[in-house]
Structure 1
Amino acid sequence: MARLLASSQGWLFSPGVDLSVFTGSALVSVAFMLAAPWLGVTGDTPLWAWLLFVVCVDVAHVWSTLFRTYLDPEELRARPGLYLGAPLAAYAAGVLAYQVSPGAFWTLFAYVALSHFVRQQYGWVALYDRKARVSTWERRLDAAAIYAATLGPVVWWHANLPRGFWWFVQGDFISGLPAWVGTVGLGLHAAVLVAWAAFQVARVVRGEGLQAGKVLLVVATWVTWFGGIVVARDDFSFTVMNVVLHGVPYFALLFRYARGRLAEGGYGPAAALLRAGLPGFLLFLVALALAEEFLWDQAVWREHASLFGASSVTLPPDVLALVVPLLALPQATHYVLDAFVWKPGRQPALLSRLGWSPMATRHEVRPSGTPHVSTMAIPARSD
């Protein structure tokens, strides 16, 4: 087995980190879901779980994008149009959608977030395949497997609305699919995953080794998406299964990138945070997440008075049409930027900062079209 794993080129970061952030995240999610009765959790996500999973993982990981973008003076100078245009475009789209109706805004936001979640998992698999230099056929099969693992349960969800949970707000997904479509969706997702598993077994039989990290990632993705959507019956289970595998690996990615960028020099004020190590990195992000959630609670939700205090703010609908998209802007900007900032072909130094290749020269150009890590986050309201 040791030879099998050693010959697989099977890890993005290292065996310990990969197992912790991918497999470990899935196991933690399952453990909390199974322990819900012993934790006294029935139905809605309690305050402690909301703080731990939504604020400290989900919302905080959105803000970690700052270390890749706005906290890096060199990056800002390199692409000022992107970093100015992304939030402006996202805000304008949000205001227009909210002017149509609040429901239209949350439906649009929910489907953008869903797409982003799916693309994140594909992005991790694509990076595994890039490192191992697998064949075109295997890349396509891996892509089919990750899309099956995520979209199969989502199709079933749409065919079985309403459920005891929702993405952002109740009724944000469009209902109306007949139940049989969900059954067919799960059947197709199972067929694709069985074919993918058979291919992995065939690789081992042929003596080609096992790309262990990638295999465990696909399995973890299926466990959390199937468990968090099809098996889950309440908001707590959905939240736990939904956010941990999503947020924790992104923390690892951003911290590793930021430390690699710090080593080059010229990183600006963010360097002091990184010199404090992982605790400084995480505490800074949690502070931003709490500040964001305070604003959401005071202006919109009014659900956590025991934490943030009672709100005396009552905004009229026309003002909410401007405020809600503004509060959602960190998440919306994160969605837009992630389509651009994780493409190695456009920034040769990216992989070296992540520790995945020798340091590229400033003017080296890699082939275009390389896979990117697509990541997502749930906006401030996810329970």
Structure 2
Amino acid sequence: MSRLLAPSQAWLFGRGVDLAVFAGSALVSVGLMLAAPALGLAGETPLWAWVLLVVCVDVAHVWSTLFRTYLDGDEPRRRPGLYIGAPLAAYVLGVLAYLVSPGAFWRLFAYSALFHFVRQQYGWVSLYGRKARASDTERRLDAAAVYAATLGPVVWWHANLPRGFWWFVENDFLPGLPGWVGTGALVLQGLVLTAWVGFQVSRAVRGEGLQAGKVLLVLATWGTWCGGIVLARDDFAFTVTNVVLHGVPYFALLWRYTRGRFAEGGYGWLRPLVRVGLPAFVLVLVALAFGEEALWDWLVWHERPSLFGEGVPALPPDVLALVVPLLALPQATHYLLDAFIWKPGREPALLTRLGWTHGGRAGSPEGSPGGMAAASTVVIPGVRE
């Protein structure tokens, strides 16, 4: 077994954390989906599950980007054009889309979210490849595997509309694909993943070992996307499989970055909060998420008065054209910024802050915040964007 696994484990965060945030998230998601009928959870997502999954995981992970961007005082000064331009562009585009029609806005927003979700899974597998110094052939095959695991179910979904769930709102995805296209997408997915599994087996046979974290990530992605889209029959099943594997690893990434930046002396007036550790970090994000969702409910949805109160009377369409893109701005900005802020080729210090180069978990004279175990220190020569 040691020969099978030893050559290039290259865990991203450390063995225990990787297993928890990738494999653990997937197991919890799929387990809840399968147990939902017996637990009486099938159908619409109950309020407690909505709070836990949507507010405390999905919306809160969006706000965690603040610790990589606007709350890191040096970052806005270093790239002011990005941090001013991204939300401004997102808001203007959102208003223009909403003025065309609310359906156009939600369709644009849904496909932006879908692109972001798919690219995040590719980003994780790409990081594993960098840390393992994988060959170009292996990295291309890994990319094909993760795109097959995500896009196969998505194409199938488009060919089998309507379903018992939507990404954001009803009819936000375009219908019209014939059924055989969806079937073909799943067949192609199976062929690509079979080739990828064959490559992993051949590595083991050659004595090169398995990168267990990456293997578990790809399998977790396949299980949750197929389970939550192809097998799911209701909103709860889709929600639980959709948000946990997406949000929980991102929390781990942002907390790792926050600790690294703290060790450099960053965050200024926020240092006492970061020093408290992971609980304070999560509580701040959950509070911001609750605030956002309260505004959505007061001003737009009016669906959960037992949680947020009655809110205001229905707003006229021209006001909603300004309000809805504004409320969506944290999420839209998160989508845009995520395409720029995790490129180590442009910012070598990023790898040190994440603990992925020499000096990984640097100490701090003021004490280091508590939380997740540190990852193994790994040198990554010639990192490219």
TM-score exceeds 0.5:
yes
8 Å contact from structure 2 (residues 42, 237) kept in 1: no
The one-character-per-residue Cα deviations of 1:303-329 (angstroms, maximum 9, x if unpaired) are 111101112332100000000000000
In structure 2, the partner of 1:29 is 29
Letter in 2 for 1:296: W
Aligned to 2:218: 218
Alignment correspondent of 1:376: none
Q: Which residue of 1 aligns with 2:152?
A: 152
1:298/1:311 contact within 8 Å kept: yes
| CA distance in structure 2 between the partners assigned to 1:235 and 1:2 by the alignment | 42
- The residue aligned with 1:318 is 318
Q: What residue number does 1:63 align with?
A: 63
What CA distance in whole angstroms lies between the structure 1 residues aligned with 2:88 and 2:382? 30
Match of 2:349 in 1: 349
Structure 1 match to 2:52 = 52
Give the conservation status (yes or no) of the 8 Å contact 2:61–2:247.
Answer: yes
Secondary structure (helix, strand or coil) at the match of 1:209 reads coil
CA contact (8 A) 1:165 1:235 kept: yes
1:97-112 aligned at under 5 Å gives the runs 97-112=97-112
In 2 relative to 1, CA 49–285 (structure 1 residues): closer, same or farther, beyond 3 Å?
Answer: same
Shift of the alpha carbon at 1:70?
A: 0.4
Q: Does 1:242 align with 2:242?
A: yes
CA deviation profile, 1:152-185 (whole Å, cap 9, x unmatched): 0000000000000000000000000000100001
SS in 1 for 2:345: helix
The gaps in structure 1 that reach 5 residues or longer are: 361-365, 371-383
| CA distance, structure 2, for counterparts of residue 3 and residue 22 of structure 1 | 23
Q: 1:185 to 1:325 in 2, by over 3 A?
A: same
Amino acid at match of 2:71: L
How is 1:233-382 mapped onto 2 (pairs within 5 angstroms)? 233-359=233-359, 369-370=384-385
CA contact (8 A) 1:59 1:289 kept: yes
**RMSD value over aligned CA atoms?**
1.2
Letter in 1 for 2:12: L
CA distance in 1, matches of 2:71, 2:311: 32
Spell out, residue by residue over 1:278-334, the C-alpha distance to the aligned partner (whole angstroms, 9 max, x if none). 100000000000000000000011111110111233210000000000000000000
Structure 1 residue 127: Cα displacement = 0.3
Q: Which moved more, 1:281-290 or 1:72-81?
A: 72-81
Task: Give the drift of 1:6.
Answer: 2.5
1:270 positional shift? 2.4
Secondary structure, in 3 states, of the residue corresponding to 1:196?
helix
Per the alignment, residue 202 of structure 2 pairs with 202
Distance 1:145 1:353 in 2: 29
2: CA distance between counterparts of 1:2 and 1:315? 63
Query: What letter is aligned with 1:337?
Result: L
Q: Give the structure 1 partner of residue 16 of structure 2.
A: 16
Quick one: which amino acid aligns to residue 199 of structure 2? F
1:43 match: 43
| Structure 2: distance between partners of 1:234 and 1:9 | 37
1-side partners of 2:121 and 2:266: how far apart?
32
Distance 2:75 2:6 in 1: 36
Q: Distance in 1 between matches of 2:284 and 2:102?
A: 32
Instruction: Tell me the distance in 1 between the aligned counterparts of 2:325 and 2:4.
Output: 50
Query: What is residue 378 of structure 1 aligned with on the other side?
Result: none
| C-alpha contact (below 8 Å) 1:349/1:359 kept by paired residues | no
- Distance (Å, rounded) in 2 between the aligned partners of 1:269 and 1:63: 18
Q: Distance in 2 between matches of 1:166 and 1:359?
A: 45
Counterpart CA distance in 1 for 2:348 and 2:204 is 34
Partner of 2:166: 166
Per the alignment, do residues 86 and 199 of structure 1 end up closer, same or farther by CA in structure 2, a change over 3 Å counting? same
Unaligned runs of 5+ in 2: 361-380
Give the aligned residue type for 2:280.
G
**In 2, distance between residues paired with 1:270 and 1:146?**
37
1:222-271 C-alpha deviation (Å, 9 max, x unpaired) = 00000000000000000000000000000000001000000001322222
1:3 to partner: Cα distance: 3.4
Alignment check: 8 A CA contact 1:273 1:281 kept: yes
Q: Tell me the distance in 2 between the aligned counterparts of 1:207 and 1:2.
A: 10
In structure 2, C-alpha distance between the alignment counterparts of 1:198 and 1:327, rounded to whole Å: 46
CA gap 1:98/1:367 in 2 versus in 1, 3 angstroms: farther
Q: Identity of aligned pairs, percent?
A: 75
SS of 1:92's equivalent in the other structure is helix
For 1:242 and 1:230, how far apart are their aligned partners in 2?
Answer: 12
Cα distance per residue 1:41-77 (max 9 Å; x no partner): 1310000000000000000000000000000111111
Q: Per the alignment, do residues 369 and 101 of structure 1 end up closer, same or farther by CA in structure 2, a change over 3 Å counting?
A: farther
Show the 5 A alignment for 1:73-84: 73-84=73-84
Q: Report the Cα distance in structure 2 between the residues aligned to 1:66 and 1:274, rounded to whole angstroms.
A: 13
Partners in 2 of 1:4 and 1:251 — Cα distance? 30
Letter in 1 for 2:348: P
C-alpha contact 2:155 2:181 (8 A) present in aligned 1: yes
TM-score, normalised on structure 1?
A: 0.93
